[in-house]
Every structure is written in C-alpha cells, then in structure tokens.
Amino acid sequence: MTAPPPPTPKHLIRSHSTQVNVIYISDDNERIYSGDLSGNLVVTSTRSLRAIASWKAHSEGLLGVQEWEEKLITDNKLHVWDAVREPSRTLGGSAALPGLQPPALCYSLDVNALNYCRFSLLPIPADARTEERHALLAVPNLVESAYVRIRLDLSFWADIWTLPGKQRLHAAIGKGGQGAPASDGRGVPNARGIIMSMHLSSVAHPHATGRARLRLLCGYENGSVTMWDYTREEREVSIEGMGWESLWTVRLHVESVMAMTVSPDGSYALSVSADHLIGRYNIAEAESSTDPKEACSVFRTKHPGNGSVAIKDDGRVCAVGGWDGRIRLYSTKSFKALGTLTYHKKNCQCLAFAHSRARPCCALSPEQPIISGEEEDDDDEMTEHEKQERTRWLVSGGQDSRTPLQCYSWTLQTGLNASCYRWLDSYIESAAVAKKRHQPVHCDRHPDPTILIGPSSHNAKRFAAGAARGRTAQMVCPASTAALPEGACITVLTDRSNRPKVCLLSFSSPRRDSFSAGLAVTAPCWIGTLTMSFYSQSLKTSAIILDLPPTLYVAGAPVEGELELDYQLLLDDDIDRIIVGLEGTIHTKNRTGAQMENFKIGTNDFLRKAITLWVRGHSSPPQGDHILRIPFSLPLPDDAPPSFGFESYMNVAYVHYAVEVTGVRTGTFAIDRTIKVPVLVVSPDPLGAALRAELKLGWQGDWGRIKAEEKIRKIPWGEYATVKMELLVPHLDTFPLFTPIPYSIVLTTISAPTKRKGLAQPAKDIFPAVPRSPSEIDFELRRHVDLQTPYFPSNPEEHVADLIPKAHAPIPPVDVEISDYVWLPEEGKVDRGCWMQEATFNSSMILRFTPTFLTEEIKIKYALHLRVDFPGIGNSLRIEFPINIGSGIEAPIFMDDSGSNPTTIDVPASYWDPSKWSTQ
C-alpha cells in the first residue's frame, strides 16, 4: 500500500522576506523566535500564532537566538536584549506593523561568527554564581594575529566569555600553544579548518566534590568532531588554548560539518554534512574507549546535502533538514525513517522541536509590565488538549523565507462510542430483515452527529481510521442516490480499488427524524447503498425570494440576508418549512492522462450550516399583508479559506461558497423548492488593511529592489554588451487587494566597447537599445497552484494578469523616462569606451485576485514575472519575485464590479453557476 501523504503545515509564519537562518522555541513553548538573512528577528506567540515583536536585530544575517534569565541573546555580533514583552492584544504581522516594539539593547559583545557558527550558552547553577558570572558563552575566536587577518579573520579556535561580566576566560581553544599555525596544504592554518558548530557543557570533577570541568564539543570544516577538556584546575583563565586537551577526535564525514546538536541528557551528539551521512557520537563511550571511532556510528541516507538537525527533548526522535527542502524524521536509536515533511521547496536551514514538558520561562514573568494595560484576550487562552498538541510541534525555516509549523505526530479520534456501535448493529440487523421482506427501513437517527454504516463496528472503525490517515478515498454520493431528511448527507469511504467500504451519515442539525429507504446489499459484508424514494432538484419559485446584497464577505464574519416569503403561495405550494444553509466546498480534479477521460477527484465539504427559518403554522405576515420578511445570519468559520477557481485541461480546483434556501414540501412525490446563490469570501487581513491606508496616502516606506544583469551580443561573435534591469516595489509583507501599488522598472544598457566619433550623442540607437514603449516589456502576475487530489498530486502554473497591458494606452498609465546617452571612456583612453542609456517605467498595479492561502487540498502562491527581450538569440533579461497577496480588509465590504476600481475578486464564470459545480 502506498504511504499516506505527508501532513501539511499547521501554520505559516510569513514575516520574513529573506531566508530564515535560525529558529528557537522558548522553554515554556509560548514563543517562537525566527531570524533571517537580513538580520530581522520576529517573535511569534504560539497561542495566537501572531507576531508579538519584530525588529532588525543585526545588520547581517542572524545565526543564533536564545532566551536566558530575563534576557534574550542574539548573534552575529552578539547582542543581549531585554526580554520580549508580550502585548495583551497581538496583531498579525511583521516588522512594518505599528505597536510591535523591539526590546531594549542591554549590551553587545564582538564575536567572529563569519555566518557559520552560532554561540553556545551554559548557564551557571545558582549556588555557583557571582555578580559578574551568571553564564558562560562559547563563541568563535576573535583572532587578532596578522596572519589570520590576511585570511579574512577565519575562526579556527574558540573563546569562552562570562555573562554579564563580558570577561574572556579562555582564548583560542584548540590552538594548543602552537607558534606558527600548521597548514593542511591549502593555506588554511589548521588541518581541521574553521569551527562550524560547537556545544559548551560541564561535567562533575572526578576528584573534587562540588566542582565541575568544562567541555567543548566542536564540529570542523574537514568533517571531524573533537571533544575538548580543560585540565588546568589551578588556573581559571587561559590563553592560546593552554590547558585544553583533546579527549577524542572522530571524523565521520567526508565534507564539512554543517550542523551538530547534542541530546538533552548530553549522552550523545548528532552531526550532518554536505554528504549523505548522519554521524552519532556516544560521548561517554568515546571518552573511555581506546578507539573513539568504535563508540561512534554512521547512518548512510539516500539523500546527500543536509544542513540542519534537531533532537526532540525525549531523545528518541531527530529531524534532519536537507538541501532539497525536505525534513526527514528518524529514530535516534536505530535511525529508522519515521516520516518526511515536504513543505519547503529550497534548502531547510534550521529546525526546532517544541518541548514535551514545557518549563516556566523567566523571559516573561508575571510581574513584568506589558505594553497594553488591557487584560489578555480570552481567544488566546489554550485548553490542556491544545497545550498537549503544541508539545508535538516542529518548526522549520528555509531559503523560501517561510517558517511552517508542522505536527510530526497526531492522535486519531474517530468520534464513535459504544452506544453508536450498538445502534449500528441494530440498524444493520433491522435492515437485513427489511431486505428479506422487501420493506423499507424505519429508524430513528442516533443522537450523535455522525453515524457509520458498515459490516461491523470493528471494520467501520478500521476504515474510518484509514480515512483519517489519508489511506482511503472519500466520495460524496450525488443527491439522487439517497432519500434523507434535511440537514443529512452521505459520504462513502472506499478503498484504493474504489470499492465501497463504509457509508457515513452526517447531520448538520440536532433533529431526531425518521426516514425510510430501501437497502440494497452490494457485497456479502457491506450494507449501505441507499436507493432513492424521491428526487430533489433546484427550482426557483416566486413564493421564496432571497435578498442577498452583493458583498465580499470575510472569514469569521456572518453572511447576512433576508427572505421574502409570499405567504399565500407557500400555502398553495404545500411548503412545510424553509431551511437556510451556508455551504463551503473544496473540490479538486486531476486528469490522469492527456488522452484519457480518467480523473482523480477530491471533495471536502468543510462547511455545512443550516437553520430552520420558517415552519408552517408558526409565523404569518402582518395583518393586511401577504409578504413575510425574515432576516437571517449565518457565521463563517474563522479559518475559512478564500473563494478560488482554477480551470485547465488537466486540472480543476475550486473553493465554493453558497447560500442555499430550501422549501421542504410534503408528499411522496413532492419536489423541494431550492435556491442556491454563490457568495465570495476572503480571509481577514489586518496587516493588509493598515498597508492599504499607507498606500493610499502615497508610499513613504522602504522599497524592495530586485536586480538582474546579463552579457549579450547580437551575433555569435564579437565583444559583449551589458544589460541591467531593476524592479522596485514597496517592501511589503503582504500586497493588499483593490489598492494601487506603485512600482518602477529601470533598464540600463551599456554597449560593447567602441570608438567615439566626436559626437555628443550617437546618430542612431546603439545595440542594445533600451525599450521605449511599455508594450516592449512583459510584466505579469503568475500563480502556482499545488493540488493535493487524493493519490494524484499536481502543481500547475497559470498566467493571472498582465500588469502592463499590451494596449496602446494601458490602464493604469505608464510614465516612461528615457535618458540621453552617456559616454563611459575606458581607462586611459578618451576616444574608446561604451555608451550607456537608461529607461525608467513608473506605474502602479491593482490586484483583484484570490489572496494567497493554504489548505490540505490546495496551496497557491504568486510571483511577479518581468521579462525584456533584446535582439539576438536568447538575449532575454528575466526577474521573478515571489509575493504574498492579502485581502487588505478586516470586515465585509460592498462588492462593486463597475467603475475604474471594482472591489471584487476575479473567479471563473462557472463559479457563479451552481448547476455546474457537480460536473467540474
């Protein structure tokens, strides 16, 4: 049997625009720290999954972050900050959000990290602390020798400092008091190379009670790992590595150690490298063994290129992040593969497990003041079950600048109890008797909201468990195959051969109804095919009019409308009651072959809410009027995905929403009156709403710059010319809808070296000439759609819109500025050089498309594609810039599709025709 698909991330932290280098989870599991290549640090609450602090902590990329006492430590250059104060009401967002105040910087310490090795912190026990010494900090050595300054200050050794005293206790650990440094033949003054990873620890002194000896485990550039031990007990301070001895050195990798981590109990360490090996070092055994390599082991994977590793705090599970973006889970004892997480598309840079036993953390003490004086929202309170689920989180960061939270294990809950199975057995027994007598089955529905019909309670639970793990297909029966009361639907669970196994009856209302249907036994061990006793079809009637204003709804807000009922026509049409429902469906469909009419279909009816609005005999119109007006309100879930539509020859994907009004009629052959009206829904976006206001006033913030440069020539010989292109867009974490977003495109051409003929300007355009019209530039928005149809995933891409329309007068208009030619003489030559010219295109774009979203079935993301073609073969300059699109609204707005700036999102025409939904 094929393995189940990997789980999708529980949440994505979208606060970074560059690759995420470091992830840290606080000891109490309350905060996630993520740092990126630009030096930005974002603190995310695990309760609300929203940013509570965000600031530029360093001018270069972050390597490490860790909470310590009531402080926060970060490096490249090491900074010690005050603890992050969590506001009472957190806002989703990023560094651009107002109100997310950075903590105060307490002090700094120069270290030589070189974008490779992070610090290692060793807190000192309370009974051994002094005023200047609460913790020891191991960092790469800040070398001052002239030799190493020539070598770009590479860090071959390590230093140990005290905090908060900032005193260096030990310098150049690993140098060993050598004079001229040894060379490995490549000019590197140490055969081991630079330090790539380190871990500082202490062990009990073998001879003195109550004392401890320092140990430093280092992973090096040549693939080796060394354990250093400080043996000079009479001296507290050392220089040039004096007193530090190597207990053991083992080289398990053929490439550089890219990451190393030590188990929580300190018994073993794991390392990964650019090769396909995972090294395990049994620390105590290596120290006592005559051959330390015998105490270490190597696990050979099939996946070369690993850049990060983390160990769960129980020491039994580890996660390895690969350069292919995959996260692989292993048993630390046997290295048996436990699963693979596949969200990242590029290198997975860092990993962190949540803590199984969350410990109180002093980084946020109850006595500390907070930014807001209001009490904390009840929405952020967590149940014990939610806290337990949080302990199973795995957080990762990568080059795609996204930080997904993934649950690496899950608990199956079928929701069935003994009374449900007893009801099930009695139902099957009565159904069998009725089948023999050719009689309908009369049965009260079980009070539980879900009933499984299958061969037995054991098999029903087994197949339900398979469905929950993604091992069975789910197929919703058409309405014509079942006769059920209102609010009920049927789902058939099938095996991989598409054979029915379990029939699932779901009720959206708590009613107890009796229904009858003839049962057909399709297999000796399965009962569940319900034959129809009446039909239901959509039919609009003048007795019922649905008044639903054109509104762009927001998840978490209600869908509100009004019914106009012609009372006399209701009575004449024998309508017994009227039900109003709100439905939401995710539908995916993939063609399995270009010439085959064979599809893989997935359907998820994630939203089914219904209320009975009118019952015959319970309400009537006012005296002298025959029209009864009844308002209604149906809430949308907070996590409802936005409306979406995608159609191609090979793939179809939709997220549908509709309000359905059903007039239930009595009688055996009566036809229900049904009205279904599609509605549009988007996710709330408070960050985008704030950015919309700033954009309307004229963008005054930072700009993002994306550059491209190529050497081209018109014919296959001769000297090269140079073309450069730069795209400038506002530096936004999310691009809001319905708002002009300014941009600039700057093109620079530099001709091949030529002779100047004494003219101030060339008589004609020189190759390569800059574009002079917007129509010569291809600037478009593209959408990548990742479809997870059961057992047949696909990832098509589509062109969404031309941001510079190919029209004589594009809207919005594009301002073009073309500079004069500028002569660039060669050094020492006046009459020989190059001609340079620049063209600038300024305009704005307005987005009206489904915002970026992620579900288990559909994942969409957007990118700006910019291309300019020059004469010659292959002379194209391209830029691709991924963007995140948000709705930019927090509450429902009136949907207006007229005027120059319509406030509606573009969906295919079939979205507005519910009759086609079942055939898509």
Out of 682, 714, 735, a domain closes at 682
pLDDT for 100 equals: 66
Q: Is 746 within the bounds of a domain?
A: yes
pLDDT for 338 equals: 83
- Please state, for a pLDDT cut of 90, what percent of the chain lies above it: 26
Helices (H) and strands (E) in the chain, counts: 7, 61
Mean pLDDT (the chain, rounded):
76
Lowest mean pLDDT among 159-168, 429-438, 811-820: 429-438
pLDDT for 520 equals: 25
Are residue 704 and residue 847 in the same domain, yes or no? Answer: yes
Q: Is 98 within the bounds of a domain?
A: no
Are residue 711 and residue 743 in the same domain, yes or no? Answer: yes
pLDDT for 363 equals: 42
Instruction: Name residues whose C-beta falls within 8 Å of residue 451's C-beta, 6 or more positions apart in sequence.
Output: 420, 423, 424, 445, 504, 505, 506
Chain position carrying tokens 């003048």? 542
- Please state, for a pLDDT cut of 70, what percent of the chain lies above it: 72
Out of 635, 658, 682, a domain closes at 682
> Per-residue pLDDT for 421 more than 70?
no
pLDDT for 250 equals: 93
User: Using 50, 70 and 90 to split pLDDT, how confident is the model at 600?
Assistant: confident
pLDDT for 128 equals: 83
pLDDT for 377 equals: 44
Are residue 762 and residue 644 in the same domain, yes or no? Answer: no
Between residues 9 and 360, the one the model is more confident about: 9
pLDDT for 127 equals: 83
Q: Is 568 within the bounds of a domain?
A: yes
Q: What average pLDDT does range 177-197 have in this prediction?
A: 57
pLDDT for 918 equals: 60
User: Using 50, 70 and 90 to split pLDDT, how confident is the model at 556?
Assistant: very high
Domain of 770, CATH number, reads 2.60.40
Prior bond to 768 cis, omega within 30?
A: yes
Q: What average pLDDT does range 144-170 have in this prediction?
A: 67
Q: If we measure between CA atoms, which residue out of 852, 884, 899, 894 comes closest to residue 680?
A: 894
**pTM here?**
0.47
> Per-residue pLDDT for 590 more than 50?
yes
Q: What average pLDDT does range 667-672 have in this prediction?
A: 72
Between residues 206 and 306, the one the model is more confident about: 306
How many domains does one find in the chain?
2
DSSP state of 713: -
Are residue 756 and residue 870 in the same domain, yes or no? Answer: yes
Q: If we measure between CA atoms, which residue out of 222, 247, 295, 306 comes closest to residue 271?
A: 306
Between residues 234 and 55, the one the model is more confident about: 55
Are residue 874 and residue 754 in the same domain, yes or no? Answer: yes
Which tens digit of pLDDT belongs to each residue from 72-108? 999 878 899 988 876 654 444 333 444 567 888 888 8
> Per-residue pLDDT for 189 more than 90?
no
> Per-residue pLDDT for 215 more than 50?
yes
Asked whether the beta carbons of 886 and 794 are under 8 A apart, the reply is no
pLDDT for 198 equals: 92
Q: If we measure between CA atoms, which residue out of 847, 843, 853 comes closest to residue 903?
A: 847
Q: What average pLDDT does range 329-338 have in this prediction?
A: 88
Are residue 623 and residue 724 in the same domain, yes or no? Answer: no
User: Using 50, 70 and 90 to split pLDDT, how confident is the model at 668?
Assistant: low
User: Using 50, 70 and 90 to split pLDDT, how confident is the model at 530?
Assistant: very low
What is the C-alpha to C-alpha distance for residues 350 and 352, in angstroms, rounded to an integer?
7
> Per-residue pLDDT for 483 more than 70?
no
pLDDT for 95 equals: 37
Are residue 692 and residue 736 in the same domain, yes or no? Answer: yes
Lowest mean pLDDT among 245-254, 342-351, 391-400, 508-517: 508-517
What is the C-alpha to C-alpha distance for residues 162 and 31, in angstroms, rounded to an integer?
26
Q: Is 846 within the bounds of a domain?
A: yes
For 658, phi then psi, to 5°, come to -155, 150
Which tens digit of pLDDT belongs to each residue from 747-801? 999 999 988 877 778 878 888 899 988 888 999 999 998 887 665 667 788 888 8
Between residues 840 and 109, the one the model is more confident about: 840
Out of 630, 650, 682, a domain closes at 682
pLDDT for 155 equals: 65
pLDDT for 232 equals: 83
- What would the two tokens of residue 382 be? 């967590």
DSSP string, 405-463: EEES---------HHHHHHHHHHHHHHHHHHHHT----EEPPSSSEEEESS-HHHHHHH
User: Using 50, 70 and 90 to split pLDDT, how confident is the model at 433?
Assistant: low
Domain of 560, CATH number, reads 2.60.40.640
What is the C-alpha to C-alpha distance for residues 565 and 545, in angstroms, rounded to an integer?
6
Between residues 332 and 481, the one the model is more confident about: 332
- In terms of residue numbers, what domain contains 705? 686-888
Asked whether the beta carbons of 263 and 247 are under 8 A apart, the reply is no
Between residues 382 and 575, the one the model is more confident about: 575
Between residues 516 and 56, the one the model is more confident about: 56
> Per-residue pLDDT for 512 more than 80?
no
Are residue 720 and residue 833 in the same domain, yes or no? Answer: yes
Which tens digit of pLDDT belongs to each residue from 34-44? 998 888 899 98
Our measurement of the distance from residue 233's CA atom to the centroid of its chain's CA atoms, rounded to an integer in Å, reads: 50
Which tens digit of pLDDT belongs to each residue from 705-737? 999 999 998 888 888 999 999 999 999 989 999
Q: Is 304 within the bounds of a domain?
A: no
Q: What average pLDDT does range 177-206 have in this prediction?
A: 66
User: Using 50, 70 and 90 to split pLDDT, how confident is the model at 445?
Assistant: very low
Are residue 664 and residue 561 in the same domain, yes or no? Answer: yes
Between residues 344 and 178, the one the model is more confident about: 344
Are residue 618 and residue 756 in the same domain, yes or no? Answer: no
Q: Is 870 within the bounds of a domain?
A: yes
Highest average pLDDT, of 166-170, 269-273, 468-472, 701-705, comes from 269-273
Are residue 618 and residue 570 in the same domain, yes or no? Answer: yes
Q: Is 721 within the bounds of a domain?
A: yes
> Per-residue pLDDT for 879 more than 70?
yes
What is the C-alpha to C-alpha distance for residues 194 and 176, in angstroms, rounded to an integer?
15
Are residue 725 and residue 870 in the same domain, yes or no? Answer: yes
Residue 642 bridge partners (DSSP): none
> Per-residue pLDDT for 70 more than 90?
no
pLDDT for 353 equals: 92
Q: How many CB atoms lie under 10 A from the CB of residue 730?
A: 18
Q: Is 734 within the bounds of a domain?
A: yes
